[in-house]
Amino acid sequence: MTSTSSYSYLHKSPQDVLNDIDFQLTLEPALLTKLTKAFLEEINVGLGRYGEDMAMVPSFVTGVPDGSEIGTFLALDLGGTNLRVCEVVLNGDKTFRLRQQKYKVSDQLKTGEATVLFDYLADSVDAFLTTHPPESPTSPISDVPDVLPLGLTFSFPVEQTALGSGTILTWTKGFSAKNAIGNDVVKLLQDAFDRKHMHVKCVALVNDTVGALLSRAYTSGGCMLGAIFGTGTNGAYLEEVAKIPKLANNLAATKGGYMVVNTEWGAFNNKRTHLPSTPFDSALDRTSINPRFQAFEKFISGMYLGEITRHILLSLIDAAPRPMLFGGKATKVVNDQWGLDTSVMSEVEEAWEMRVTVDTTVAEDLNGVANINEIGAEPRSFPGEIGENLLWDGDDHDILPRWDILSTPEGLASLNPKVKGKLEKVRKVLVNRLEYADEDVELRDAAIVRWTCHLVARRAALLSGVAVAAILLQTGRATFIQDGQNGQTVPSTTEEPTSKKVNGANGTHAVNGLNKVTGTIKDGLEEKIGVGVDGSLIQFYPHFERTMRESLRSIVGSDAESRVEIGLAKDGSGVGAALCALQALKQGF
């Protein structure tokens, strides 16, 4: 599908057009705080009732592992760009072995009949078992010893009813298979295994966020939040059962303690009353497979950032009365819906970030504000980032292109060589990845595209910080900074050590510094807050985590932010599914 842009830039100077886009995509700390408050409200609405936008799905996982778990399991991961089948061996010493095979899921499978999709999943497991015969005996299921136990990581909204069953609520991330919604996903899969007479039993169902949380806890010894920033975005955290009223009379509720809750935060503010929507976001949403759903996700995740960027670039290519980008030319990549992958943005920013070697006689005075201003860049200060925005190399701050400098031979000649070198590298990436002819891309285009990528990704990372901050606040591990706006942190001496409250709750006890139930690690007086993350965006997008932390600091202050330990939940979906399968077997599946 091709699309045209329809933003009117008449009666505006090119600089004003850029300024306006910059303004629309820039988030102030006060907005981040406001969003966090709205986020907290939705969290609690979702914990109270079924059927809310932010589904707050109880996972029936009632504690986090500590690394001592042992067993061998199959795991199947469906939820995004690839389908993975793995065999996971938990060694019981925080380490694991994993063998895996990836399989493509075609658009036809994603949008066809559910039984065809699930038959394909079963076929993939079958193919995996043929090419990877079990090396170590899998953990036995008590009543059916020769059947292999499998944990399913299914990363779509599901209303879980037990560790091993759950109803599909809706599809996201480009899936829309028919006759799936309202059905038990474990049954759909098991029926497919049974149709093929396979000796495999799906014993546990886990969301990838829950998997990230469990696997990070297994390998690091403590974790309270698992978060995904990949094709989509979502998070799961450890909540007090007493704070999940909708469990009502469920057996789990009467037992008390803690439970992992899958927030489905991608659906935060679906009504878009608070999210900073621009015309570009509206264009994306309107032409998406799920308009008006997954609003938060559409600002943040890998599936969408490239598309938002593409809409902005198209508007500049089509700008009237005169094109502002690529001489008005559009390639297939920028013209096709979803044509611009988020990884292109990463590459553009990496090209910009790379150190460029220049003649040392001019290099000496190239580190400072003066040079930033030289190309008309406007370094922005952000609370907690004092001084950091003065850095040139690795500088992560917005560079608003100055049209006058970039559009005249004299202006271009006045650019310092280092900046020119960086722009030239970006220009080459654009020629390669956007498939332009070399002569169609100028340094000005490079500056504009780099700035666009940066604005879109920076907004995504700041909004990601809102989600993490909300979980810290919800679990009493942080408080809003004093006035929520000026970036001042509450001095640590006066800050209420709210985290201690969590530790003492329900008489839980710390073992070797690790609280086995709440998943926090004590390190002297400081309580570390473990966060396990997964997804290509946070792994590969330059400075995504740094910007997310910047957002956290502006919402909850640097004390809380500095206690957050973000670590990769390596192979989270596989290891998480295995850990869940283990728990299912222990519960006498």
Catalytic residues: 173, 208
Side chain identity at residue 279, one-letter code: P
Q: Report the distance separating Cα 309 and Cα 96, nearest Å.
A: 39
Q: Does 480 bind ligand ADP (CB under 6 A)?
A: no
Q: How far, CA to CA in Å, does 19 sit from each of 26, 46, 378, 420?
A: 10, 38, 11, 22
Q: Of residues 411-450, which lie at the interface with ligand ADP (CB under 6 A)?
A: none
Which residues are CB-contacts of 234 (< 8 A; sequence separation ≥ 6)? 155, 207, 208, 209, 227, 228, 262, 263, 264, 265, 266, 297
x/- string (CB under 6 A) for ligand ADP, residues 541-570? x-----------------------------
Q: Does 221 bind ligand ADP (CB under 6 A)?
A: no
Q: Report the distance separating Cα 563 and Cα 68, nearest Å.
A: 25
Nearer to Mg ion, 80 or 383 (CB): 80
Q: State in angstroms the smallest separation of the CB of 535 from Mg ion.
A: 6
Q: Are strands 258-262 and 70-78 parallel, antiparallel or unpaired?
A: unpaired
Tell me which stretch binds ligand ADP (CB under 6 A): 59-67, 259-267, 338-346, 581-589. 338-346
Q: Report the distance separating Cα 171 and Cα 169, nearest Å.
A: 7
Q: How far, CA to CA in Å, does 476 sit from each of 58, 97, 228, 232?
A: 19, 35, 22, 27
Q: Report the distance separating Cα 394 and Cα 554, nearest Å.
A: 21
Of 5, 342, 475, 518, which lies in the binding site for ligand ADP, with binding defined by CB under 6 A? 342
Is cis: bond before 140, omega within 30 of 0? no
Q: Of residues 496-535, which lie at the interface with ligand ADP (CB under 6 A)?
A: 535
Q: Does 233 bind ligand ADP (CB under 6 A)?
A: no
Q: Does 209 bind ligand ADP (CB under 6 A)?
A: no
Residue 540 binding partner per list Mg ion, ligand ADP, none, with a CB distance cut-off of 5 to 8 Å that depends on partner kind = ligand ADP
Which of 561-586 are b and which e, b meaning 16 or more Cβ less than 10 Å from the residue's Cβ? bbbbbbebbebbbbbbbbbbbbbbbe
Q: Of residues 50-89, which lie at the interface with ligand ADP (CB under 6 A)?
A: 79-81
Q: State in angstroms the smallest separation of the CB of 347 from ligand ADP.
A: 7
**Coil vs helix vs strand at 344:** helix
Q: State in angstroms the smallest separation of the CB of 480 from Mg ion.
A: 32
Among all residues, whose Cβ is closest to ligand ADP?
Answer: 80
Q: State in angstroms the smallest separation of the CB of 108 from ligand ADP.
A: 18
Residue 103 binding partner per list ligand ADP, Mg ion, none, with a CB distance cut-off of 5 to 8 Å that depends on partner kind = none
Instruction: Specify the DSSP element, H or E, that contains 102.
Output: strand 96-104
Nearer to ligand ADP, 83 or 406 (CB): 83
Q: Report the distance separating Cα 160 and Cα 205, nearest Å.
A: 8
Q: State in angstroms the smallest separation of the CB of 233 from ligand ADP.
A: 9
Q: State in angstroms the smallest separation of the CB of 429 from ligand ADP.
A: 12
Nearer to ligand ADP, 306 or 465 (CB): 306
Q: How far apart are the first and last CA of the chain?
A: 48
Q: What are phi and psi of 200, to 5 degrees?
A: -130, 135
Q: Does 343 bind ligand ADP (CB under 6 A)?
A: yes
Nearer to ligand ADP, 60 or 175 (CB): 175
Q: Report the distance separating Cα 471 and Cα 260, nearest Å.
A: 12
Q: Does 536 bind ligand ADP (CB under 6 A)?
A: yes
Nearer to ligand ADP, 166 or 302 (CB): 302
Which residues contact ligand ADP by CB under 6 A? 79-81, 230-231, 302-303, 341-343, 346, 535-537, 540-541
